[in-house]
Amino acid sequence: MTERQPAIDLSRQQFSRTSGDLAVIGTWLWNEDQETHEPALVIINALNPRAFKPCVVALSAAYKYDDARYCAQVAGALAGLTGSDSMQTAHKIALLIEDSLNDLLNMPPNPVDAVVVADATVAADGRKRSLEIVDYVPQQQV
């Protein structure tokens, strides 16, 4: 059985900005099906991060937010999740997403380190070869 990991780790940030009581964070989203990370925007309450579930915009879906109608529709729905149905909150969320899309597109892949987890020696055709088996682990945030 493999160990499950959280989909987002807010301790690993490429960038962050706030607008009033909302914050947007550029981090990496774990895609369990593809077993890889992808850049993502995460919108949280800046004053109380546990006030509502984080709203996530993955790089693979970023193109949808270029459509003003789609962005406004999603921002309105996200405003409801924050506990506010106001147009002002929806507008603030839409602006946070819009202002952060370029940063999202320019985010690097998830930074990882190669760690040797095993050594192997293989003998084939009378020749010996040494191999290292590596695993890729996320770099620690400094």
Per-residue confidence (pLDDT) for residue 99, from 0 to 100? 92
Per-residue confidence (pLDDT) for residue 40, from 0 to 100? 95
Phi, psi of 120 (to 5 degrees): -140, 145
Q: Which of 97, 42, 107 is nearest to 68 (CA)?
A: 97
Which tens digits make up the pLDDT trace of 119-131? 888 888 888 888 8
> Mean of the per-residue pLDDT values for the chain?
86
Q: What is the DSSP letter of 6?
A: -
In this prediction, residue 1 has a pLDDT band, given cuts at 50, 70 and 90, of very low
Which tens digits make up the pLDDT trace of 26-53? 999 988 787 788 999 999 888 887 788 8
The DSSP string of 11-51 is TS-SEEEEETTEEEEEEEEEETTTTEEEEEEEEEESS-TTS
Tracing tokens 């999603």 back to the chain, one arrives at 74
Query: Is residue 72 helix, strand or coil?
Result: helix
Confirm if 10 and 44 have CB atoms less than 8 A apart. Answer: yes
What are the domain boundaries of the chain? 15-105
> Is 141's pLDDT higher than 80?
no
Confirm if 104 and 43 have CB atoms less than 8 A apart. Answer: no
Per-residue confidence (pLDDT) for residue 94, from 0 to 100? 93
Q: Which of 142, 114, 116, 110 is nearest to 131 (CA)?
A: 116
> Is 59's pLDDT higher than 90?
yes
